[in-house]
Amino acid sequence: MSAVTSKNKKITKAVIPAAGLGTRMLPISRAVPKEMLPIVDKPAISYLVEECAASGIKDILIITGRSKTMMEDYFDYSLEYEAKLKESGREDEIPELRRIADLCNIHYIRQLETKGLGHAITFAHTFVGDDPFVVLYGDDIIFSEKPVVKQIIEAYEKYNLPTVGVKEVPVELVMKYDSLKVHQLEEKIYKVETMIEKPRIDQIYSHFSILGRVLLTSEIFDILYDLPPGAGGEIQLTDAMKIMAETIGMIAVDFEGTRYDLGSKIGFLKVNTEQATKNPELGSEFREYLKEFVKTL
């Protein structure tokens, strides 16, 4: 394996895979991709794009399935809505609509078959070229003081190695996600020795799992192209990252932030309830409602 070719480049590109079938969110996912499900009044993917913009990302590639037009419409100017708002004296709402559209340059490509997250990432090769890039899993929403993408970029800038965002999770989740073998370098920062996707209980290295944010270098593509299908018959990004960790090296950041799995129904309900209580417009009314409602449970 050649040395990392993309050292010290500023990170300005991100990839958001959003082409998964989302079978845990059936039946809604037949018509609406989970990345377009709302958190209060904005689709999940809007939060991801905001996280990127707040971390210095300029260009984002969204890997889509059948939902391309829905996403394009969301990130476009909406002149008909602007006209309607003007007519009804609600001009003050227009800048927020424009702000969402202006956050980053957004590019789209379709993953022609849903053969797994690793397969989806191969569709980013032309967009990325030799540049290091961030991947935000489309169904992992994280709220934090400092954007998690920024936390990961800062670790990359220090160590010049591919970097993954991790958290310690309960054993039942480790078995669904992945388990990392790590040794500590400094507070919240670890070197990854190896990892395993969906381990059995006797295969668990640690409770650290990768949660939705990774920074990869372009060496990942050659690894992915050679990779046989892994768990579930899919091309698993974790399998490629394991090879990367063992050959090039990899850093794990135990990030600060609260993460929600929007790919599960319970995650969807939790994030909406919690964010609604914090919403500047609706929060106080919703909190009052919730207090009364819990009394009836």
Site residues for ligand UTP, 226-285, by CB under 6 A, read 263
Question: Judged by CB under 6 A, which stretch of 20-28, 78-86, 100-108, 148-156 contacts ligand UTP?
Answer: 20-28
Cα–Cα distance between 56 and 147 in angstroms, integer? 10
Interaction of residue 115 with ligand UTP, rule CB under 6 A? yes
What are the beta bridge partners of residue 145? none
| Shortest Å distance, C-beta 76 to ligand UTP | 21
Q: Which residue number, 63 or 174, has a Cβ lying nearer to ligand UTP? A: 63
Question: Which CB atom, from 37 or from 253, has the smaller least distance to ligand UTP?
Answer: 37
Tokens 């919403």: give the residue: 279
Residue 39 DSSP SS3: strand
Q: Which of 139, 197, 219, 239 binds ligand UTP (CB under 6 A)?
A: 139
**Helix orientation angle between 148-159 and 44-53, rounded to the nearest 10 degrees:** 40
How far is it, in rounded angstroms, from Cα 203 to Cα 176?
Answer: 12
Tell me which of 120, 161, 204, 253 binds ligand UTP, using CB under 6 A.
120
Contact call for residues 72 and 163 (beta carbons, < 8 A): no
DSSP state string for 178-239: EEEEEEEEETTEEEEEEEEES--GGG---SEEEEEEEEE-THHHHHHHTPPP-GGGS--HHH
Rounded to 10 degrees, what is the CA torsion of 49, 51, 55, 56?
A: 20
Q: Does 24 bind ligand UTP (CB under 6 A)?
A: yes
Distance CA 241, CA 15 (A): 16
Chosen residue from 14, 20, 215, 252 binding ligand UTP by CB under 6 A = 20
Residue from the set 22, 43, 165, 257 that interacts with ligand UTP by CB under 6 A: 22
**172 touches 46 (CB < 8 A):** no
Which C-beta is closer to ligand UTP: that of 236 or that of 286?
236
Q: Is 2 in the site for ligand UTP (CB under 6 A)?
A: no
**Region of 18-26, 37-45, 51-59, 126-134 interacting with ligand UTP (CB under 6 A):** 18-26
Nearest to 153 by CA among 227, 228, 255: 255
Work out how close the CB of 72 gets to ligand UTP at its nearest, in angstroms, rounded to a whole number: 16
CB of 11 or CB of 18, closer to ligand UTP:
18
Residue 139 near residue 35, CB atoms below 8 Å: yes
Rounded to 5 degrees, φ, ψ at 57 are: -75, 135
Q: Which of 111, 163, 179, 238 binds ligand UTP (CB under 6 A)?
A: 111
Q: Does 19 engage in binding with ligand UTP (CB under 6 A)?
A: yes
Q: What are the angstrom distances between the C-alpha of 161 and each of 80, 186, 203, 215, 252? A: 46, 15, 26, 9, 10
Using the rule CB under 6 A, is 132 a contact of ligand UTP? no
Binding of ligand UTP by 210 (CB under 6 A): no
Asked whether position 177 contacts ligand UTP by CB under 6 A, the answer is no
Stretch in the footprint of ligand UTP (CB under 6 A) among 134-142, 160-168, 189-197, 213-221: 134-142
Window contacting ligand UTP (CB under 6 A); options: 72-80, 132-140, 216-224, 246-254: 132-140
Give the residues lining the site for ligand UTP (CB under 6 A). 17-24, 63, 111, 114-117, 119-120, 137-139, 263
